[in-house]
Chains A and B, each alone.
Chain A
């Protein structure tokens, strides 16, 4: 099954610390079974995610990964007994990080504006929405894409409730799938 996986620079698993072997010569990398960790007791599983859950897992490198069956979904994660890296998604680079985070921060600012408009003569009522927008701008400036995405989702929730929050997350996921090309 095709899925996606974020890794730290150098192809390192963010939780396992495992060095994932890269694909070579256009062929997928070797199969990896349990990515055992020094810190966490070895779990006999490989973790990845669907494209719609990418915003929750953002790290430096984005990879397309092939998962061996049986694949189980737990929360926003896919769990499989083995996986192999298929190709690096080059579109996810420093520029893309900034663009993504910036877009999230912009939407958080829009929600703050909506909150202020709704607050009318009592701008204090919009205080938290404004704080969230400021936090989003700060984090976007730091290139913290995952944090900015989280803030944007909560900024949406604050004004527009759970539906708005879900819609924000769908927008974030769409941002990725639009750029991952027809293969996604």
Chain B
């Protein structure tokens, strides 16, 4: 049992692992509920259908059930879950001949479109080339409005529409809260590449929310 104070992340992680090993169904059910969709989103980036992604994640949970006793706590549980899913998804992806190593996913991303459409900025004929021509409209009361169910639906749908590599990085960094180093290790990406994908994904999500906030 960890000797860290009860409210610290280390202590709660350690007590979660203990609970799972002791067969605490509520703890396991909560874990599944919390991470299933995120795991599925990451799996989906590596296989060719929603149904297959679902299978991959189910297989991953079964692996967790079988392997929790062997979990050594060298990474966080979250990182462990995602690495299990990544391994199974990659194997499945290779088996169905849809080889999508992450470098290939990144290649799909090489369209390099700017974060904001170029026409939003002034040109050489204007007074302030490169500065906003049509500035962003400030969002009114964003915390409250983005907390609304409709906004969260909109965001979830926008996340699902991101190119696979961007979706994976945004899910791991911003939904699941994994650190940059962890995500780079998980995905075999350099810091720079990870950041580019995060950048593009976030830019698209902001644009989607901007549309929502304007409506």
Contact = CB atoms under 8 A, between A and B. Distances in A.
Please determine if A and B sit in direct contact within the complex, based on CB atoms under 8 angstroms apart: yes
B178 to A, nearest CB: 16
Interface in A130-170: 131-132, 135, 154
Contacts of A128: 126-127
B19 to A, nearest CB: 32
> Is the contact region of chain B dominated by helix, strand, or loop, or is it mixed?
loop
A132 B131 CA distance: 13
B173 to A, nearest CB: 14
A interface, size bucket: under 10
B180 to A, nearest CB: 10
A140 to B, nearest CB: 16
B130 to A, nearest CB: 12
Contacts of B128: 135, 154
B121 to A, nearest CB: 16
A154 B127 CA distance: 10
Contacts of B126: 128, 131
Contacts of A154: 128
* Residue in A128, A132, A135, A154 whose Cβ sees the most chain B Cβ within 10 Å: A128
Contacts of B127: 128, 131-132, 135
Contacts of A132: 127
A96 B172 CA distance: 48
Interface in B106-159: 126-128
Nearest to A127: B127
B14 to A, nearest CB: 26
Nearest to A131: B127
A132 B126 CA distance: 10
Interface in A96-129: 128
B1 to A, nearest CB: 32
A162 B47 CA distance: 57
A154 B128 CA distance: 9
A84 to B, nearest CB: 33
Contacts of A131: 126-127
A155 to B, nearest CB: 10
A146 to B, nearest CB: 14
A63 to B, nearest CB: 29
Interface in A52-110: none
Interface in B59-84: none
Nearest to B129: A128
A132 B128 CA distance: 9
B127 to A, nearest CB: 4
A127 B127 CA distance: 8
A135 B128 CA distance: 10
B181 to A, nearest CB: 12
A132 B129 CA distance: 12
A119 to B, nearest CB: 15
Nearest to B180: A41
B136 to A, nearest CB: 16
Nearest to A154: B128
A135 B126 CA distance: 12
A154 B126 CA distance: 13
A128 B128 CA distance: 9
Given A128-B127, A131-B126, A135-B128, 5 more contacts: A128-B126, A131-B127, A132-B127, A135-B127, A154-B128
8 contacts: A128-B126, A128-B127, A131-B126, A131-B127, A132-B127, A135-B127, A135-B128, A154-B128
Interface of A: 128, 131-132, 135, 154
Which 6 residue pairs are nearest across A and B when measured between Cβ atoms? A131-B127, A128-B127, A132-B127, A135-B127, A128-B126, A135-B128
